[in-house]
Amino acid sequence: METLQGISAAETAKTSFGKGEQNNVTALATWIAAESKGMRFNLPQGHEQEKTFYEVGKRLFFQRGGPHDFACASCHGEDGKRIRLQDLPNLTKNPGDGVGFAAWPAYRVGNGQMWGMQQRLNDCYRQQRFPYPGFGSEATVALGVYLGVNSKGSASVAPAIKR
């Protein structure tokens, strides 16, 4: 990020979503997603560290905790879950249709903002009553690897519009 795009990681990490360098990161992710629209996910798992991050992401996805004993899997671990009249994608399997991980970044109609995956994960953590993970933390990278590998074959539909 720093070498190729000239975006300061330290500055980005301390900036709120929707401001300063965070806007630049979201804009860059949105542009890349638009250029990648229709391409199929195929995250590699050949390197030992890639496999480790997948396994850590999987553990984090199913880890229950907080005052309500939630996990990512509480909402996204099986078919047929609904919240506020919205069907939630099962992110433990490959839906192949881009409704889950492949649909981000997305324009959030409810608040009129473009959100990247990091902000989506932070909002999920907030809803689970967990502390926010740091921007680009190993936890969010591991979750991204787990979700990305599970999305193998899904076509990118991003940037998408989410209600």
Contact of 160 with 49, CB cutoff 8 Å = no
Q: Shortest CA distance to 119 belongs to which of 131, 135, 130?
A: 135
Burial class (CB within 10 angstroms; exposed 0-12, middle 13-18, buried 19+) of 73:
middle
How far is Cα 25 from Cα 135, in angstroms, rounded to an integer? Answer: 11
How far is Cα 113 from Cα 56, in angstroms, rounded to an integer? Answer: 30
From 56, 99, 124, 157, active-site residue? 124
Q: Is 75 a catalytic residue?
A: no
Contact of 12 with 25, CB cutoff 8 Å = yes
Active site residues: 124
